[in-house]
Amino acid sequence: MTGKRQPPTDDVLEVDDLWIEFRGGRKRAWGPRSVVRAVSGASLRLGRGRTLGLVGESGSGKTTIGRAVLRLNAPTRGSITAAGFRVDQFRGAPPARYRRAVQAVFQDPLGSLDPLMEVQQILAEPLRIHFDLESGKRRARVRELLEMVGLSTAHLSRYPYELSGGQRQRVAIAKALAVDPQLIVLDEPVSALDVSVQSQIINLLDGIQRDRGISYLFIAHDLAVVRHASHDVAVMYRGRIMESGPADRVCGTPRHPYTRLLFDAVPNPVPRSMRGPRRANQFDLPLPDIGVEPTPAGCPFITRCPLRGPECATGFPEPTPVPGGGELACFAAERVLQAAATPDLPRKDAT
Amino acid sequence: MSESASDVPRLPAADVAAKGSVRSSRFLGRLLRQRSLLIWGTVVGIIALSAVLAPLLSPFDPDTGVLADSFAPPSTEHWLGADRYGRDVLTRVLYGGQVALLAAVQAVAIALGIGVPAGLAIGYAGGWLDRILMRLVDGVMSVPFLVLAIAVIAALGPGLHNAMAVVGIVYAMSVLRLVRGEVLSAKEELYVDGLKVSGAGGPRILFRHILNNIAPPIIVQATLMFATAIVAEATLSYLGLGVTQPTASWGSMLSEAQATIRQNFFLAVPPGIAIFITVLGINQVGEGLRDLFSREITVGRLGLNVVRKTRPTASEREIFAGEPDQPSALEVRDLSVSFPQAGGQRVQVVQNVDLRLRRGELLCLVGESGSGKSVTAMSMLGLVSHPGVVTASSVRLGDEEISGLDFKAMRSIRGNRIGVVFQDPLASLNPTFTVGNQMCEAIMEHRDVPRREARRLTIDLFERVGIPNPELRLDDYPFQFSGGMAQRVMIAMALSCDPEVLVADEPTTALDVTVQKQILDLLVGLRDERGLSILLITHDLGVVAEVGDTVATMYAGQIVESGPVAEVFAQPRHPYTQGLLDSIPRNVAPAGALPSIRGTVPQPIDWPVGCRFADRCDFATDACRRSPVPLAPTVDPGHSTRCVRVDELRLTGIGDEQSQVVAVLSRASGRDGVA
Amino acid sequence: MRNVVIRLLTMIPLVLLVVSGTFFLSLASNVDPAEIILGGNATQEQIDALRQQLGLDRPALEQYWTWLSGLLQGDLGTSLYTGASVTDLFLAALPVTLSLTAGGLVVGVVLGVGAGLFASVVAGTRLDRGVILLSTMGQAAPSFFVGMLIIYFLALQLGWFPATGYVSPADSFGGWLHSLALPSIALGVGVAAALSRQARSSMITALQQDYTRTALSKGHSRRRVVLKHAGRNAASPVVTSISFQVAQLLGGAIVVERLFALPGLGSLTIDAVLRYDPNIIQAVVLFAVVVIVLVNLLVDVSYVWLNPKVRTT
């Protein structure tokens, strides 16, 4: 996402101290139901026309946040303001105006389209719901949408299962664009696609954002993809936001021990024999289990963290600003930031 | 850049229109192919029609007879004879059909009328209403319906309508349950979330989308219910609780026939056969509908899909990757796999694959979805599902030919000389047995050791693959493991008999990236310390770069390039490999649009005659499309490619880290960095 | 364990609900037992006197209370028709019905599960289609028609089995088995047909799972793969299906008892309906519900054994 865009300053999405809990099963036959905390105290901001990448491994709570923004689940505490609506305060189904402002594209493009509808019906559905168009105009609009995502009229009468993965995802994007939204939640939009098609979809999304100034909340587990697709990145682990900031800073110079572990694990496409000698890295192996289960109040990364101290078990740190932009939530922040001054840290930084 | 840009707009309009109409008549086409459905539908139609037209078809009155004809045998006058009272049996069977059909219509109408709306409402609302009502439904369903019907008839007095109303209500409960279950699972479907986000309200989602999608099982259920309602009517009438004398019903006719079974057995046959054929017919129609709506499942012969031996067709050129003098652990020649298509012809999903895995080597078979990479690996072990047909001129394990082996011989190889690790570890472990049980079982299958020894070996293996506290974890079930730990169990199991070859089919695709790294490190460690030969199937070139010694790229069922990893990545000889290398998302500052390969992977049925990649290739010429391109060695030893223009093209490869950084730095000045 | 206890507790109101429903249904009926007992030419005084004697003139709730408290003490009331104790009639008929139901269950499970297992292993072949055809036919033939055919051929023509009647195992164990053979087959055919389809389809599902492929890749024999690995996983739906079939068996027993003139609960019930004897019917309904509840409980317990996930969470 390059190009000289001056993003407006107003926020399309503001998440403030969000907590989301689900009721789980019982541990003992007559015991109380356990509470599964999917998101703990997450705060995010997303400006107009910008992309915020939300990365994390499975169980990090990234998808839960996306679904909360879409009001497909309800927050336990905290506030979500999206496109000027207080999403957390909705009672029952959100108003149609909200549905027009905030749209979604999901990971599995086959599952997210009604299997019994042709592409033209799928695209006409949001138009029918939100706009009182005569059928001719609606058809014209459907064609326009298809064109926007690089499909042609030949695809109008196909069923989802007759399309390739990439084409289905294009249909899903067209469906989201049908109501001219301000914000689209992209929940792993390219994870199910082949690598050669992933880039097509990311380029398409990028083009649409330039043309229409739509904001994206881009949820993904692939760090490299997120870096390409986002202006800002937030890294989540087990419901907590560990580190956030401008994409190039977070991905180029990750500071949080977890973020560094994560980036070091990404396979390097340069074969080993073509690389220089490998630096010894303290995050290579899972650390010995210290026998402490992470407490709900403490840092969830404690079991794997080489920098852990006694305070990590009892509380979760306030985010500290990081030079170069963004914040990091670590009690050992001081040490981490000092270590950053030494040359042992990641490789390239565009600045 | 997009799929459409390349091929689709060139389709003439008429062609597109024709495709549309083909699509709309497709359902009809499938219907016509279901011959048994049509035949049985006709049978049921004839039965229904003759019951309706009974007064026109028969000159006799069903309820009064001529005593002189008592027990008359079949004759030209009474085609099926006459009963004790001299009534014409055929006439009574026809009129009995009226009773049966009406009763069944009544019961099914009540069942659907109550069950569908209630099921939709309860399923969609959920919550406490759902819990209470489902308890009630369980209650009603727990009483055998005949007992319930009898209780109601006892109170209200005999009569077919009362009885069938009870039957209808009992059926309504099972319809309700079915509809609710379908709605509940449909509600979990992603497309319903999509609709909610589109702003569709509850009723719209329920009636316009969910109801359409769950209609097939309801239709099938209603059909089958119609059949059981006919049996229910006959049963009640047989017991004297349904129709009253002298009305004809198949059940009451059987009851009368029973009374005189010693004098005249034949009387039992017409009504019995009438019930039998009608119910059989309706059931067959229901089954046919079920098949129509769902894809057919065929398992075929379990356990082995044997590799059929063909005569070698390809020339004996040395086209394998890597050092030629290294002894091979697993070698495949001319492997093809085909599957039957709807039209009757077969389509080859894997074509003439040659692979050689050398001892102590990690060979990566890489490709996109549908490239045939997994099928290739599974076919060597005879694990391709039926009705796939696997052929090869040779499959050699070490010095032994293993193509064409029977199940028993193959068993001594599977798990013993070749270990296999699959993609989804939690699905690949049997959920109902402890991991220790499954491990010991594998060891004891091939080694003559007592269970105690097998357990000890298991603990050692668990330790080697990095499972903490192996003694304790042994008695856990697979679902108690995380994905990464479960994959370690799978690897331990594959290694349990110290195999020569490990086949790992996308072993890390289902895992998180930090776990993937650990598993890959484990595999590399095993190769290094045991000299294990590993065939790793993956779609991720990053994984190949991390662990691979040699690589074979597959596209559309063919190997398009193979060679040593460093060489292929530095200097690919096929534009597809180059495209894949370019597409890998890399953790570098973005510079312009991401490179991608245009178009989509074609379906096997659409594979072109010439180079299969030509339509997506930037370098394609007419020569590429003309005829099949063979896999040919390049100037580099052990490196081969399937490209016509191999000598002209200079592909850039992955580029080393240094040049990447330089490129990024030079571009960085031209963009407004955020930092 | 928790589930089993909860299930048991929630079943109590269910049983109560069903039997009370039956009771009030018979009260709401416009048939007057007194009239039926005394016949058409009884005077109104006679009828009233009998009504009073039977307690039929009291308010509905009072009658209900009397009946319910009797029920809790194991007193099922008396037959309005013969005056005999319902409990005695019930206990006399019970062994017949239990023997028959058990016989039908054995025939159904052995034939059904066996055929289904076989069909799943040869799925897609002619043998498989043959099994499917047989089971469709089995479902299409009502038990009384099957029964009449086997009575005619195996009993009347060949004389291998008695056509009707019941021999108590106390009198002759062989005779008991002999007398039950044909009724059990008549009753079990439909059950076998239904179970074979369920067994086939859940086995096919299990055989297509990844773990089956894993078991094969370990080099196990077909027997081990089918019976151990797929079988254990396929068992739960089959067991559920068996529990549904028990309800079918109880209903079917009524028909088969009538066909073979067996003095079981079914015959008792039919007579009671035709004569209008509500106490007997209530007893039978109660019995059926309790049996079903117990079977469901057994099924729940079996899930715990079959599915380790239930066991440990």
Would you state the pLDDT for residue C45? 82
Nearest Cα neighbor of B427 from C226, C209, C312, C203 is C209
Whether residue A26 and residue C1 make contact (CB cut-off 8 A), yes or no, is no
Closest-CA distance, B26 to chain C, in angstroms, reads: 24
B258 with C259: Cβ contact below 8 A: yes
pLDDT of C100 strictly over 90? yes
pLDDT tens profile B34-75: 778 888 899 999 999 998 888 888 888 888 877 777 777 888
- CB interface of A with B, residues 69-88, below 8 Å: 70, 72
Inform me whether the pLDDT recorded for A346 exceeds 50. no
C265 inside 8 A of chain B by CB: no
Q: What is the pTM of this model?
A: 0.82
Instruction: Tell whether the model's pLDDT for residue A25 goes beyond 70.
Output: no
Candidates B587, B596, B657; nearest CB to A196: B596
Q: What is the 3-state secondary structure (H, E, C) of B281-292?
A: HHHHHHHHHHHH
The lowest-confidence range among B409-418, C217-226, C284-293 is C284-293
Indicate yes or no: CB of C10 within 8 angstroms of CB of B145: no
Distance from CA of B22 to the nearest CA of A (A): 11
Are the beta carbons of C281 and B154 separated by less than 8 Å?
A: yes
Q: What pLDDT, on a 0 to 100 scale, did the predictor assign at position C30?
A: 65
In this prediction, residue A76 has a pLDDT band, given cuts at 50, 70 and 90, of: very high
Q: C residues 2-21 near A, CB within 8 Å?
A: 2
C-alpha–C-alpha distance, residues B347 and B329, integer Å: 30
pLDDT score at B552: 95
Read off the DSSP letter of residue A313. Answer: G
In tens, the pLDDT along B257-316 reads 888 888 888 888 889 999 999 999 998 888 888 777 665 445 555 667 778 887 766 554
Q: Which chains touch B (3 or more CB pairs under 8 A)?
A: A, C
Pairwise CB contact (< 8 Å): A29 & C313: no
Residue B483: its chain C contacts at CB < 8 A?
Answer: none
Strands (E), A75-116: 77-82, 85-86, 102-105
pLDDT at residue B11, as a whole number: 30
Contacting A residues, span 86-115, partner chain B, CB-CB under 8 Å: 93, 96, 99-100, 102-104, 106, 108, 111-115
pLDDT at A7: 43
pLDDT at A280: 45
Interface pTM, i.e. ipTM: 0.85
**Does A31 reach chain C within 8 Å, measured CB to CB?**
no
List the 176-195 stretch of C: residues with Cβ below 8 A of B: none
Instruction: Retrieve residue B527's tokens.
Output: 């190769």
Rounded average pLDDT over C97-105: 94
Q: Which of A5-19, A272-286, A313-327, B558-572 has the lowest mean pLDDT?
A: A272-286
| Lowest mean pLDDT segment, chosen from A243-252, B40-49, B235-244, C100-109 | B235-244
Which is nearest to A269 in space by CA: B364, B598, B369? B364
Instruction: Give the model's pLDDT for residue A171.
Output: 94
- Whether the CB of A86 is below 8 Å from some CB of chain C: the reply is no
Please report the number of interchain residue pairs, chain A to chain C, with beta-carbon separation below 8 angstroms: 5
Q: Is B3 on the interface with A (CB under 8 A)?
A: yes
Candidates A106, A197, A301, A304: best to mutate against B (most CBs of B within 10 A) is A197
Rg (CA), chain C: 24
C-chain residues near A32 (CB < 8 A): none
Segment A242-265 mean pLDDT: 89
Residues in chain B where the model's pLDDT stays below 50: 1-24, 296-297, 316, 657-675
Q: Over range A116-131, report the average pLDDT.
A: 92
Q: What pLDDT is recorded for position A32?
A: 73
Kindly state whether B468 is in contact with chain A, defined as any CB-CB distance less than 8 angstroms.
Answer: yes
SS3 at position A295: coil
- Chains A, B: CB contacts within 8 A come to 267
The alpha-carbon gap from C270 to the nearest alpha carbon of chain B, in Å, equals: 7
- Most A CBs within 10 A among B30, B191, B211, hence the mutation to make, goes to B191
Say if C313 is an interface residue toward chain A (CB within 8 Å).
yes
In the complex, which subunits touch C with 3 or more CB pairs below 8 angstroms? A, B
What's residue B589's pLDDT? Answer: 76
Selected residue of B406, B416, B430, B497 to mutate for chain C interface (largest C Cβ count, 10 A)? B430
Nearest to A348 among B595, B596, B661 (CB): B661
CA-based nearest distance C57→chain A, Å: 48
Tell me whether A5 touches chain C (CB under 8 Å).
no
Burial (Cβ within 10 Å: 0-12, 13-18, ≥19) of residue C18: buried
User: A5 near A44, Cβ under 8 Å?
Assistant: no
- Residues found in chain A: 351
Position B20 scores a pLDDT of: 38
Contacts of A302 (CB under 8 A, 6+ apart): A290, A292, A294, A308, A312, A313
The 10s digit of each residue's pLDDT in A102-118 is 999 998 878 888 888 89
Spatial separation of the C-alpha atoms in residues B624 and B645, rounded to whole Å: 8
Q: What share of chain C in percent tops pLDDT 70?
A: 95
Note the residue count of chain C. 313
State the average pLDDT for chain C: 84
The pLDDT value recorded for residue B674 is: 33
Q: Does A265 touch chain B (CB under 8 A)?
A: yes
Q: DSSP states of B94-154 as a string?
A: HHHHHHHHHHHHHHHHHHHHHHHHHHHHHHHH-HHHHHHHHHHHHHHHHS-HHHHHHHHHH
* For residue B387, cis peptide bond before it (omega within 30 degrees of 0): yes
